[in-house]
Amino acid sequence: MQWETVIGLEVHIQLLTQSKIFSSAPTRYGAEPNTQANLIDLGMPGVLPVLNAEAVNMAIKFGLAVDANIAPRSVFERKNYFYPDLPKGYQISQYQIPVVGNGHIDIQLEDGEVKRIGITRAHLEEDAGKSLHEDIADKSGIDLNRAGTPLLEIVSEPDLRSAKEAIAYLKVLHALVRYLDICDGNMQEGSFRCDANISVRPQGQTELGTRTEIKNMNSFRYIERAINYEADRQIALIESGKQVQQQTRLYDPSNNETRPMRTKEEANDYRYFPDPDLLPLTVTQDQIDTIRAVLPELPKQKRQRFQEQYQLPEYDARVLTATRELAEYFETAVKHTQGTPKLVANWVMGDLASALNKAALDITQSPVSAEQLASLITRISDNTISGKIAKTVFEAMWAGEDNADPDAIIANRGLQQVTDSSTIEAIVDEVIANNPTQLEQYRSGKDKLFGYFVGQVMKASQGKANPQQVNELLQAKLKA
């Protein structure tokens, strides 16, 4: 039987505020344990939460970017459960009326088709603290620094049909929240983490199968593997006549499998109710309009502009706008070159991207700046060096030679292209004189040997002869 996998994702993004959602304590990551939690975060008696206006603005920004409805009035509720890293015994979240409802984002599938993925809602809530299991033998340690950090939980419709689609969606979302500057997207530090709801059904069936939820994943690779594992597990269960149990599971990357969480059945009874400490959150049309007016250019708009303004193919535009930082790098480099955006694109996506990849660096850590890369490209387009020699220069720049200044490297290494035709002619004559056998074969019809002569001339000139001139001269001389 053909099976279809159905996936819906819940993504928690940590909002890039300075202070917590209901208190003025800092949100700084990596501080000494329990030094960034104030009396509100610690759930001390008699304190009251006061909402951080910037967290609301960020939620609205996100809502506008995914064409969602912004609720004129939304409600904070208490989600009640007991866990050592939750000091109050409840998490303040939004339940019945979230601030952002009903939006969508478009993803591109492998075959190029664009698919629209519904966003059911996005709501504001506070994060819990951290439980540490390694530090103290047979006990758990609790660090409440993270308690009260603002989160936006983004819930998708069950519109995704494979692990690949899920990853495509997550990558678009990840780029979007960084473009909006509402989340740093740091997955290792848990700023962008994902729960996946997964079920399978026979192809063609409209009714959904029983789903399981895999909690708390923070790596694209693991999410993809976890979804594939879980879908296979469910299919195998059903095909052997068993049933899928609705449950929460965790993915174990070291064994590549999912396992059920050891949770009491009552654990899902959160008894939400409106938080009496907080009035409904009102958002005015004025506030929405003000935020809309300052929204940055979003990935889709930037992609279209890159295609039009720089005459780039759709593929290039997509790659170059994958992150805001990469797009900025490209545009800075273009600004410092003359009329060669496609050449810049090729360098950024080619040599630069592969060097970054090899060194596991991102674009903001590139040892070659956009301006320096632009100087190098200018030297190609003004014929100071050939494209091939440019690769050598780039490697030297990457290694930090001459402060990554291409002109200094070209001068010090004597890499200027030879365009003086008498110099090239002398080399061509020498090569022809040294290869009488090949010359004879060529003249008797073995056209392929032309490339051999080009190679010999380039070699003799240490790659510096202008290739076009070499071609023209050889063509003329070999004929004679």
Partner 1 sequence: MELTATDVSKIAYLARLAIQEDNIPQYADNLSKILEFVTQLNSVDTDAVEPMFHSGHIELRQRADEAKQPSNSRDKILALAPDAAAGLFVVPQVIEDK
**From candidates 4, 43, 80, 408, binder to partner 1 by CB under 8 A:** 80
SS3 328: helix
d(CA 220, CA 184): 16
Q: Output the CA torsion 221→226→231→232 (10° steps).
A: 90
Show Cβ contacts of residue 46 under 8 Å, excluding neighbours closer than 6 positions: none
Identify the three-state secondary structure at position 439: helix
**With respect to partner 1, which residue has the nearer C-beta, 85 or 157?**
85
Q: Which two tokens stand for residue 428?
A: 């061509």
Q: Minimum distance between the CB of residue 55 and partner 1, rounded to whole angstroms?
A: 8
Which of 137-145, 239-247, 304-312, 447-455 is the region at the interface with partner 1 (rule: CB under 8 A)? 137-145
271 binds partner 1 (CB under 8 A): yes
77 vs 153, beta carbon nearer partner 1? 77
For the record, the structure tokens of 77 come out as 């509720």
By CB under 8 A, name the one of 106, 135, 289, 395 that touches partner 1. 135
83 near partner 1, rule: CB under 8 A: yes
Q: Is 190 in the site for partner 1 (CB under 8 A)?
A: no
DSSP 348: I
Rounded to whole angstroms, how far apart are CA atoms 159 and 174? 18
Task: Give whole-number Cα distances, 364 to 299, 356, 360, 444, in Å.
Answer: 18, 10, 12, 57
The site that binds partner 1 (CB under 8 A) totals a number of residues, namely: 57
255 binds partner 1 (CB under 8 A): no
Please report whether residue 162 would count as binding partner 1 according to CB under 8 A. Answer: no
Q: Which is nearer to partner 1, 18 or 357 (CB)?
A: 18
| 78/275 Cα distance (integer angstroms) | 5
Smallest distance, Å, CB 63 to partner 1? 17
Amino acid at position 114, single letter: V
Nearer CB in complex with partner 1: 189/429: 189
The reply on whether position 24 binds partner 1 by CB under 8 A is yes
For the chain, the C-alpha Rg in angstroms (whole number) is 30
Q: Which two tokens stand for residue 179?
A: 């473009």
Considering the complex, what minimum distance in angstroms separates the CB of residue 402 from partner 1?
Answer: 43
Q: Toward partner 1, which CB reaches closer, 225 or 303?
A: 225
From candidates 261, 322, 353, 439, binder to partner 1 by CB under 8 A: 261
Select from 10, 26, 218, 224 the one that contacts partner 1 (CB under 8 A). 26
Q: Based on CB atoms, which residue is closest to partner 1, 261 or 439? A: 261
Task: For partner 1, give the closer residue by CB, 171 or 271.
Answer: 271
One of 1, 111, 113, 136 touching partner 1 (CB under 8 A): 136
**Residue of 141, 158, 463, 467 that binds partner 1 (CB under 8 A):** 141
The angle at the Cα of 387, spanning 381 to 389, to the nearest 5 degrees, equals 120
Give kind and range of the element (H or E) at residue 121. Answer: strand 114-126
Q: Is 94 in the site for partner 1 (CB under 8 A)?
A: no
**Binders in 197-216 for partner 1, by CB under 8 A:** 216
| Shortest Å distance, C-beta 326 to partner 1 | 28
Helix (H) or strand (E) segment spanning residue 257 = strand 257-260
In this structure, what token pair is assigned to residue 58? 């960020």
Confirm or reject binding of residue 140 to partner 1 (CB under 8 A).
yes
State how far the Cα of 282 lies from the Cα of 298, in Å rounded to an integer: 26
Determine if 280 is a binding residue for partner 1 (CB under 8 A).
yes
The letter for the amino acid at 220 is F
Examine residue 250 and tell whether it contacts partner 1 (CB under 8 A).
Answer: yes
Q: Which range, of 135-143, 168-176, 395-403, 408-416, touches partner 1 by CB under 8 A?
A: 135-143
Is 82 a binder of partner 1 (CB under 8 A)?
A: yes
Both tokens assigned to 402: 């001459």
- Rounded to the nearest whole angstrom, what is the least distance from the CB of residue 31 to partner 1 in the complex? 10
Helix axes 163-179, 53-65, angle to 10 degrees: 130
Q: Quick one: which H or E segment has residue 90?
A: strand 90-94
Q: Which of residues 105-134 bind partner 1 (CB under 8 A)?
A: 131-133
Let me know: does 371 contact 406? Beta carbons within 8 Å.
Answer: no
The helix or strand, by DSSP H or E, that contains position 53, with its residue range, turns out to be helix 53-65
- C-beta separation of 184 from 13 below 8 A: no
CB 416 within 8 A of CB 462: no
Please, which of residues 29-58 interact with partner 1 by CB under 8 A?
Answer: 32-39, 41-42, 50-56
Tell me if 174 sits within 8 A of 324, measured CB to CB. Answer: no
Q: For residue 161, which of 222, 207, 100, 115 has the smallest C-alpha distance?
A: 115
For residue 6, the SS3 value is strand
Q: Which of 262, 358, 448, 479 binds partner 1 (CB under 8 A)?
A: 262
Q: Tell me: does residue 17 bind partner 1 (CB under 8 A).
A: yes
Residue 142 is a binding residue for partner 1 (CB under 8 A): yes
* CB nearer partner 1, residue 27 or residue 199: 27
In the complex, which residues of this chain contact partner 1 (CB under 8 A)?
17-19, 24-28, 32-39, 41-42, 50-56, 75, 80, 82-84, 131-133, 135-136, 138-144, 216, 250, 261-263, 266, 269, 271, 274, 276, 278-282
